Amino acid sequence: GLPSAQAQPARAQSSPAADAQPGQPARPHANRAMPGQFIEGRIAFLQTELKLTATQQPLFDRLAGEMRAGAKDMQARMTAVRADRPDSSVERMERRTMLMKAALADSERFLAAYKPLYGALSPEQRKTADLLFARMGGGMGSMMGGPGHDMRKH
């Protein structure tokens, strides 16, 4: 038989530059998910992997609510940022500062919802949580495109 790499047909690679219309600049974010786009799946994944008990579920529900709210807020901010490109360096710095403050507020709200859940987890569940939440910050971090997500790319 053929090795699996040879058995599968080659996929066409698509880049933002290749997708751009003639005369229009490439959209560097065209192939990226919006922040929070798959939040319900991520919440379901976390819930399944943590193997929550009935007493832990309300604490997780609070965290899930924060994850949804953070995803919605971040999506609104990113939509606004992508629609408005400031011309001056002062305006760009002000926008970056505003985004960083918003990310900090998201992180604080996320942590406030996460700490009680983490405190209620068994040692085995904590090991799982430590792996699943390792790169997370506010608003679900890298799992939803939030802090942990590289804001410099926007």
pLDDT digits (tens, 9 = 90+) for 36-92: 789 999 999 999 999 999 999 999 999 999 999 989 888 888 888 888 888 899 998
Residue 6 pLDDT > 60: no
Contact 119, 47 (CB under 8 A): no
- Average pLDDT over every residue of 115-136: 93
The pLDDT of residue 110: 94
Confidence class for position 127, pLDDT limits 50, 70, 90: very high
Q: Greater confidence, 16 or 101?
A: 101
pTM of full prediction above 0.85: no
d(CA 59, CA 69): 16
What percentage of residues in the chain have a pLDDT greater than 90?
Answer: 44
Burial 71-107 (b: 16+ CB within 10 A, else e): bebbbebbeebeeeeeeeeeeeeebeeebeebbeebb
pLDDT on residue 80: 83
pLDDT of 32 over the 50 cut: yes
Per-residue pLDDT, averaged over 7-32, amounts to 49
What is the pLDDT at residue 86? 80
